[in-house]
Amino acid sequence: MTSLFQNLPLPGLGAADLSRLPSAVPPRDGGQSRRDVDADADADREADPQTGRVAGSAAEAEALLVGLNPQQREAVLHHGGPLLIVAGAGSGKTRVLAHRIAYLLATGRAHPGEILAITFTNKAAAEMRERVATLVGPSARRMWVSTFHSACVRILRREASTLGLRSSFSIYDSADSQRLLTMVARELDLDSKKFPPKALAAKISALKDELVDPETFAATASSDTSSFESVLAQVYTRYQARLRQAHALDFDDLIMTTVHLLQAFPAVAEHYRRRFRHVLVDEYQDTNHAQYTLVRELAGVGSRRRAEGEGAPDDGPRGELTVVGDADQSIYAFRGATIRNILEFEADYPDARTILLEQNYRSTQNILSAANAVISRNSGRKPKRLWTDSGAGAQIVAYVADNEHEEARFVAEEIDRLGDSDGVRPGDVAVFYRANAQSRALEEVLIRVGLPYKVVGGTRFYERREIKDAVAYLRAIANPDDDVNLRRILNVPKRGLGDRSEAMVAAFAERERISFGAALGRLDEVPGLGTRAITGLAAFATMMTDLRSLAASGTGPAEVLGAVLDRTGYLAELRASEDPQDQSRVENLAELHAVASEFAQSEPDGDLADFLERVSLVADSDQIPSDDGEGGGVDQGVVTLMTLHTAKGLEFPVVFLTGMEDGTFPHMRSLADTDQLAEERRLAYVGLTRARERLYVSRAAVRTSWGVPNEFPASRFLDDLPEEVVDWRRRESSMDTLRRPAYGSGGYGSGGHGSGGYVSGGYGSGGSGTRTAGSSSRTGSTQAARAGSAAPRAAGGATFGSATPRPEGTVPDLALGDRVTHDAYGLGTVVGLENSGPNAVAKVDFGTEGTKRLLLRFSPVTKL
């Protein structure tokens, strides 16, 4: 770890390179000026145990306990060893934390300067500070109430000289870090496609979250110099050296460097342990390894055990540690959060006391019973059951739609009905979904019916970068003289065409008074263009000409879009990325492809220009006010759309939880992984407990991806809901109804996630409020139906709403062991057969794509 604490001789970062890096910038979430450092010194003097503490009156302290339930009171009064407060959703944890801090101050057990309270967001920190100030007055300003990163910045600026840093060190955000990594990769002459800076940044961030420094990683990396590990080790070492030379830390360094500071300099660690006699941590279930270790160091546990071994006597300075959290709400493993930190708190701190907060002050009992039932299926959790004394409340409304459009229409109709019958405002309503791509169908229906909405924690569908890129390609194809869109995509994805070459072509076009697109056809006349630039630009122009020919031949918008994503390499680049956000972008592009497929179905004579007109009209009407008032009537607010991850910590009177299908939620990637599936269940628990008064759960029997309608069984979370708390407005889709024996169905059941089997009821078919009698299953699915695997990731032959059957007599005659090819899944082997004729079903093993159960008359399968 010497690189963190020694001034290394750092070669070669030239002045030109340094000029491209940010100068000293303020920290992202609360840095510290010199004045702050002086104030801290004053606070240290005030907090010295020798100065003593003055307690408030006994009456003031007792007043802080009024209105608390027995468990909350117990948590506020606790004195002595570490305390774990297991706070169920809506159980008043913020109030408990604020009252515990206020009680410490009121009883003289702590001075404001001796309290360190850590939260995960600046908003939560401000709320905590405000609540305590309301209880104890302005002295609360001298407490440290901040995020992990803000607290570390304050410590590091004070101790900068110990580390050989300037106290004015810069803090690089993710964009700065990626820019520096791009420079490092160029210095090492790395192939940016094989080693993209974004992937390198993610790997380095993960290493820092695990407190792995460059030297440690290099010692364990593969000796094969061409391996990713070996290259990453070189990049990590060079990157840290460049940061050091620039007197900069990236965001992940803030915590890692603070931990190493406390571990390498015992006197510094002891100073902070004596100062912060009370350390309180909120949302402990969301801590990663670095944050966990930081808490242990500040609490005075880690250093003694390193020096004296596990089980050593506890005779050094040690503050009182209070952590608040709920393992059932741990949903950020993809960000590095480690659920073991809270599950094993009592093992880490054997003298710890645990208090459960189970009384809920947010939701009705029906909502809580549903949440309890879902989360109880997770193993290894600390048992608890949320309860409330506010009554049972309305039943949870459940609905099965034929497709995602009918589901969206049901949501919009219910919001409208609740407004008319119960006075529910749009601002009282939130709609949750698992993945960003699901917002598109909801947005389009809300626009159509005139309900104002906002997308929180994300971008409106047609404003997302990948959607704007894809649409720009289509517009440049439809109109060769559209300079704005043509220049947007000239180097997207990157194809080595620089700003200088673009500027030369643009200047030539201006001089000749022609469009940029026309200038691309006269590259040999553009002065100053090098051979390499001419080759790249000519290749781009040829590709665009080919795509225009495809569109002019009468090919539908969906096929043109598919050709664009394929020919440009745009989709391949996203799929090759290890960035989880890029997977979300793939899903968004699949949704855009579904839009194009739906357009072809509704407008069979429409061409690419007609499709782009439709997109423009929808995107333009997508400008709906995001604050209350405008467009929604006086103080009506707007409907809130958000992913389930974004919803954590929020609450709404009315919640719609959509997309409740296995493969959608829980997500497809989690179905074969026990740990990931457990996290999906926790995510469902979080979603359910956001509702205060009314909760709706819905699913679509069929969703379309890449133009292929895919049938999904009901989410296993729906099966977990107690029957007595659910009002099923509609139990099964039109397709499920037709399959039942009473309707003369063949043997094709709701089996798996294959792309066949969709018999469209059309948009909105079935109708809101329809009940289907005699359903044999509460959710229209069985556990066996979950044997299917992933939905297709490439364009298939069917279009939305039709799943066009083969002509009679063309269903392939298959036998066990036959090799087949599928438009979406590729090569496969037949491993099972059911029924015959038009109801023939084949079970096909597609290798990495999984085993699919396909209704052959609807499936694009060819026998080899």
Question: Which one is catalytic: 40, 71, 72, 93?
Answer: 93
CA–CA gap between residue 844 and residue 854 (Å, rounded): 8
Query: What contacts 44, CB < 8 A, 6 or more positions away?
Result: 113, 275
Cβ count within 10 A of residue 556 = 22
Question: Which one is catalytic: 282, 404, 443, 466?
Answer: 282
Per the listing, tokens 């459960």 go with 356
Question: Which one is catalytic: 46, 60, 74, 94?
Answer: 94
Exposed (0-12), middle (13-18) or buried (19+): which is 549, by Cβ within 10 Å? exposed
Label the pairing between strands 819-822 and 851-855: unpaired
Cβ count within 10 A of residue 716 = 23
CA–CA gap between residue 210 and residue 236 (Å, rounded): 14
CA–CA gap between residue 540 and residue 635 (Å, rounded): 51
DSSP 774: T
DSSP 361: S
Sign of the alpha-carbon dihedral angle for 341, 96, 126, 150? negative
Give the C-alpha distances (Å, rounded to integers) separating 449 from 416, 443, 445, 459, 783.
9, 10, 6, 21, 37
Label the pairing between strands 170-172 and 841-845: unpaired
93 is catalytic: yes
Looking at this protein, which amino acid is placed at residue 127?
E
CA–CA gap between residue 346 and residue 86 (Å, rounded): 12
Task: Measure CA 689 to chain center.
Answer: 19
φ/ψ of residue 171, rounded to 5: -120, 120
State in Å, rounded, how far the first CA of the chain is from the last one. 59
DSSP 856: G
b/e per residue 289-310 (b: at least 16 CB within 10 A): bbbbbbbbbbbbbbbbeeeeee
Torsional class of 635: left (φ above 0), alpha (ψ -120 to 50), beta (otherwise) = left
DSSP 667: B
Polymer length of the chain: 864
Label the pairing between strands 248-250 and 170-172: parallel
Question: Which one is catalytic: 238, 381, 614, 690?
Answer: 690
Query: What contacts 197, CB < 8 A, 6 or more positions away?
Result: 178, 181, 182, 185
648 within 8 A of 685, measured Cβ to Cβ: no
Question: Which one is catalytic: 329, 689, 779, 799?
Answer: 329
* Closest residue by Cα to residue 403 from 447, 432, 438: 438
Query: What contacts 708, CB < 8 A, 6 or more positions away?
Result: 755, 791, 792, 795, 796, 797, 798, 824
282 is catalytic: yes
Per the listing, tokens 């520096």 go with 180
329 is catalytic: yes
Which residues make beta-bridge pairs with 640?
430, 454
Question: Which one is catalytic: 114, 283, 414, 559?
Answer: 283
Exposed (0-12), middle (13-18) or buried (19+): which is 385, by Cβ within 10 Å? middle
For 93, the enclosing helix (H) or strand (E) is helix 93-106
CA–CA gap between residue 172 and residue 177 (Å, rounded): 6
CA–CA gap between residue 764 and residue 364 (Å, rounded): 31
617 within 8 A of 471, measured Cβ to Cβ: no
Task: Measure CA 322 to chain center.
Answer: 28
Cβ count within 10 A of residue 52 = 8
* Closest residue by Cα to residue 654 from 340, 392, 496, 419: 419
For 830, the enclosing helix (H) or strand (E) is strand 826-834
CA–CA gap between residue 632 and residue 627 (Å, rounded): 9
Tell me which residues are annotated as active site: 93-94, 282-283, 329, 690
